[in-house]
Structure 1
Amino acid sequence: MAQLNATASAAWAVVDGKLHKAFRFRDFVQAFGFMTQAALVAERMNHHPEWFNVYHTVRVDLVTHDANGITERDFALATAMNEIESVSQ
Protein backbone atom coordinates (compact mmCIF):
# COMPACT_ATOMS: atom_id res chain seq x y z
CA MET A 1 0.00 0.00 0.00
CA ALA A 2 2.87 2.39 0.75
CA GLN A 3 4.28 1.89 -2.74
CA LEU A 4 0.85 2.58 -4.25
CA ASN A 5 0.58 5.86 -2.34
CA ALA A 6 4.19 6.99 -2.82
CA THR A 7 3.52 9.28 -5.77
CA ALA A 8 -0.23 9.82 -5.52
CA SER A 9 -1.79 13.21 -4.83
CA ALA A 10 -4.23 11.58 -2.42
CA ALA A 11 -3.86 8.24 -0.70
CA TRP A 12 -5.66 5.02 -1.43
CA ALA A 13 -7.21 3.48 1.68
CA VAL A 14 -9.05 0.28 2.48
CA VAL A 15 -12.69 1.14 3.19
CA ASP A 16 -15.31 -1.58 3.70
CA GLY A 17 -12.96 -4.19 2.24
CA LYS A 18 -12.26 -2.22 -0.96
CA LEU A 19 -9.43 0.02 -2.16
CA HIS A 20 -10.88 3.54 -2.10
CA LYS A 21 -9.70 6.90 -3.39
CA ALA A 22 -11.29 10.24 -4.24
CA PHE A 23 -9.61 11.90 -7.22
CA ARG A 24 -10.08 15.67 -7.57
CA PHE A 25 -9.56 17.56 -10.80
CA ARG A 26 -9.70 21.15 -12.02
CA ASP A 27 -13.18 20.76 -13.55
CA PHE A 28 -15.74 18.30 -14.90
CA VAL A 29 -14.06 17.96 -18.30
CA GLN A 30 -10.76 16.94 -16.70
CA ALA A 31 -12.55 14.49 -14.38
CA PHE A 32 -14.47 12.95 -17.27
CA GLY A 33 -11.28 12.72 -19.33
CA PHE A 34 -9.67 10.79 -16.48
CA MET A 35 -12.65 8.43 -16.35
CA THR A 36 -12.49 7.88 -20.10
CA GLN A 37 -8.81 6.98 -20.01
CA ALA A 38 -9.26 4.79 -16.93
CA ALA A 39 -12.21 3.01 -18.57
CA LEU A 40 -10.05 2.03 -21.54
CA VAL A 41 -7.38 0.60 -19.22
CA ALA A 42 -9.99 -1.20 -17.11
CA GLU A 43 -11.53 -2.75 -20.21
CA ARG A 44 -8.13 -4.01 -21.41
CA MET A 45 -7.54 -5.49 -17.95
CA ASN A 46 -11.10 -6.88 -17.84
CA HIS A 47 -11.29 -5.41 -14.34
CA HIS A 48 -13.86 -2.68 -13.82
CA PRO A 49 -14.06 -0.11 -11.02
CA GLU A 50 -17.01 0.91 -8.94
CA TRP A 51 -16.98 4.68 -9.33
CA PHE A 52 -19.04 7.80 -8.92
CA ASN A 53 -18.53 11.26 -10.42
CA VAL A 54 -19.82 14.64 -9.28
CA TYR A 55 -18.39 17.68 -11.06
CA HIS A 56 -14.61 17.60 -10.46
CA THR A 57 -14.48 14.59 -8.11
CA VAL A 58 -14.28 10.91 -9.06
CA ARG A 59 -14.67 8.43 -6.18
CA VAL A 60 -13.30 4.97 -6.92
CA ASP A 61 -13.67 1.62 -5.15
CA LEU A 62 -11.71 -1.40 -6.34
CA VAL A 63 -12.39 -4.98 -5.31
CA THR A 64 -12.21 -8.33 -7.05
CA HIS A 65 -15.72 -9.73 -6.67
CA ASP A 66 -14.71 -13.25 -7.77
CA ALA A 67 -12.15 -13.37 -4.95
CA ASN A 68 -14.44 -11.57 -2.50
CA GLY A 69 -11.67 -9.13 -1.63
CA ILE A 70 -8.73 -7.05 -2.78
CA THR A 71 -6.26 -8.74 -5.14
CA GLU A 72 -3.26 -7.83 -7.28
CA ARG A 73 -5.70 -6.88 -10.04
CA ASP A 74 -7.02 -4.08 -7.84
CA PHE A 75 -3.53 -2.82 -7.05
CA ALA A 76 -2.63 -2.93 -10.75
CA LEU A 77 -5.68 -0.87 -11.72
CA ALA A 78 -5.08 1.55 -8.84
CA THR A 79 -1.50 2.05 -10.03
CA ALA A 80 -2.72 2.67 -13.58
CA MET A 81 -5.26 5.21 -12.30
CA ASN A 82 -2.53 7.02 -10.37
CA GLU A 83 -0.47 7.21 -13.56
CA ILE A 84 -3.45 8.53 -15.55
CA GLU A 85 -4.09 11.13 -12.84
CA SER A 86 -0.47 12.29 -12.93
CA VAL A 87 -0.65 13.13 -16.64
CA SER A 88 -4.19 14.55 -16.36
CA GLN A 89 -3.32 17.29 -13.88
Structure 2
Amino acid sequence: MNPLTAEESAAALAKLPGWTLRGDGKAIARQFAFPDFRAAFGFMAQVALLAEKQDHHPEWSNVYNKVDITLTTHDAGGLTQRDIRLAAAINKIA
Protein backbone atom coordinates (compact mmCIF):
# COMPACT_ATOMS: atom_id res chain seq x y z
CA MET A 1 0.00 0.00 0.00
CA ASN A 2 1.38 3.39 -0.99
CA PRO A 3 1.11 6.60 1.04
CA LEU A 4 -1.36 9.17 -0.22
CA THR A 5 -0.06 12.21 -2.07
CA ALA A 6 -0.63 15.65 -0.55
CA GLU A 7 -3.51 16.19 -2.97
CA GLU A 8 -5.10 12.84 -2.14
CA SER A 9 -4.74 13.54 1.59
CA ALA A 10 -6.40 16.94 1.24
CA ALA A 11 -9.29 15.50 -0.77
CA ALA A 12 -9.82 12.72 1.76
CA LEU A 13 -9.71 15.09 4.73
CA ALA A 14 -12.35 17.29 3.13
CA LYS A 15 -14.72 14.33 3.59
CA LEU A 16 -13.68 13.61 7.20
CA PRO A 17 -15.10 16.23 9.56
CA GLY A 18 -13.02 16.75 12.68
CA TRP A 19 -9.84 15.07 11.44
CA THR A 20 -6.66 17.05 10.87
CA LEU A 21 -3.46 16.23 9.06
CA ARG A 22 -0.43 15.91 11.31
CA GLY A 23 2.34 18.44 10.59
CA ASP A 24 4.52 15.91 8.79
CA GLY A 25 1.62 14.84 6.56
CA LYS A 26 1.99 11.18 7.56
CA ALA A 27 -1.02 10.81 9.86
CA ILE A 28 -4.44 12.17 10.70
CA ALA A 29 -5.73 12.89 14.19
CA ARG A 30 -8.90 13.76 16.00
CA GLN A 31 -9.98 14.32 19.58
CA PHE A 32 -13.38 13.09 20.71
CA ALA A 33 -15.08 14.40 23.86
CA PHE A 34 -17.84 12.62 25.77
CA PRO A 35 -20.01 13.40 28.78
CA ASP A 36 -17.98 11.11 31.05
CA PHE A 37 -15.43 8.31 31.25
CA ARG A 38 -18.01 5.57 30.75
CA ALA A 39 -19.11 7.05 27.42
CA ALA A 40 -15.49 7.54 26.31
CA PHE A 41 -14.61 3.97 27.21
CA GLY A 42 -17.70 2.64 25.42
CA PHE A 43 -16.65 4.54 22.31
CA MET A 44 -13.16 3.04 22.56
CA ALA A 45 -14.66 -0.45 22.74
CA GLN A 46 -16.62 0.22 19.55
CA VAL A 47 -13.51 1.56 17.81
CA ALA A 48 -11.56 -1.51 18.93
CA LEU A 49 -14.10 -3.75 17.19
CA LEU A 50 -13.87 -1.67 14.00
CA ALA A 51 -10.09 -1.77 14.12
CA GLU A 52 -10.03 -5.54 14.54
CA LYS A 53 -12.47 -6.00 11.68
CA GLN A 54 -10.30 -3.84 9.41
CA ASP A 55 -7.04 -5.26 10.83
CA HIS A 56 -5.81 -1.69 11.24
CA HIS A 57 -5.18 -0.35 14.72
CA PRO A 58 -5.09 3.26 15.92
CA GLU A 59 -2.64 5.04 18.14
CA TRP A 60 -4.83 6.42 20.89
CA SER A 61 -5.06 7.70 24.40
CA ASN A 62 -7.84 8.34 26.87
CA VAL A 63 -8.01 10.81 29.74
CA TYR A 64 -11.34 10.83 31.55
CA ASN A 65 -13.88 11.93 28.90
CA LYS A 66 -11.50 12.56 26.00
CA VAL A 67 -10.18 10.10 23.43
CA ASP A 68 -7.34 11.14 21.11
CA ILE A 69 -6.88 9.02 17.98
CA THR A 70 -4.05 9.13 15.45
CA LEU A 71 -4.15 7.03 12.29
CA THR A 72 -1.17 6.19 10.12
CA THR A 73 0.00 3.13 8.23
CA HIS A 74 3.42 2.32 9.63
CA ASP A 75 4.15 -0.34 7.00
CA ALA A 76 3.65 2.25 4.24
CA GLY A 77 5.44 5.05 6.05
CA GLY A 78 2.49 7.42 6.06
CA LEU A 79 -1.17 8.06 5.47
CA THR A 80 -3.01 5.54 3.28
CA GLN A 81 -6.53 4.62 2.26
CA ARG A 82 -6.61 2.22 5.24
CA ASP A 83 -6.43 5.22 7.56
CA ILE A 84 -9.10 7.08 5.65
CA ARG A 85 -11.47 4.09 5.74
CA LEU A 86 -11.01 3.62 9.48
CA ALA A 87 -11.48 7.35 10.17
CA ALA A 88 -14.73 7.33 8.16
CA ALA A 89 -15.97 4.31 10.10
CA ILE A 90 -15.05 5.96 13.42
CA ASN A 91 -16.91 9.12 12.41
CA LYS A 92 -20.06 7.05 11.87
CA ILE A 93 -20.11 5.88 15.49
CA ALA A 94 -18.94 9.11 17.14
Please confirm whether the aligned pair reaches a TM-score higher than 0.5, indicating the same fold: yes
TM-score scaled by length of structure 2: 0.82
Other-structure match for 1:14: 21
| Number of equivalences | 80
Runs of 4+ in structure 1 displaced over 4 angstroms?
none
Instruction: Indicate yes or no: 2:15 matched with 1:3.
Output: yes
TM-score scaled by length of structure 1: 0.87
Amino acid at match of 2:15: Q
Q: Is the radius of gyration larger for structure 1 or structure 2?
A: 2
CA–CA separation in structure 1 for the residues paired with 2:28 and 2:15: 14
CA–CA separation in structure 2 for the residues paired with 1:83 and 1:72: 17
Instruction: Indicate yes or no: 2:92 matched with 1:83.
Output: yes
In the alignment, structure 2 segments of 5+ residues that lack a partner are: 1-12
CA–CA separation in structure 2 for the residues paired with 1:3 and 1:13: 11
What whole-Å deviation, never above 9, does each CA across 1:50-89 have from its counterpart, x for those lacking one? Answer: 000000000000000110000010011001111110xxxx
How many percent identity over aligned positions? 51
Instruction: Indicate yes or no: 2:47 matched with 1:35.
Output: no
CA-based RMSD of the aligned residues comes to 0.8
- SS of match in other structure, 2:47: helix
In the alignment, structure 1 segments of 5+ residues that lack a partner are: 6-10
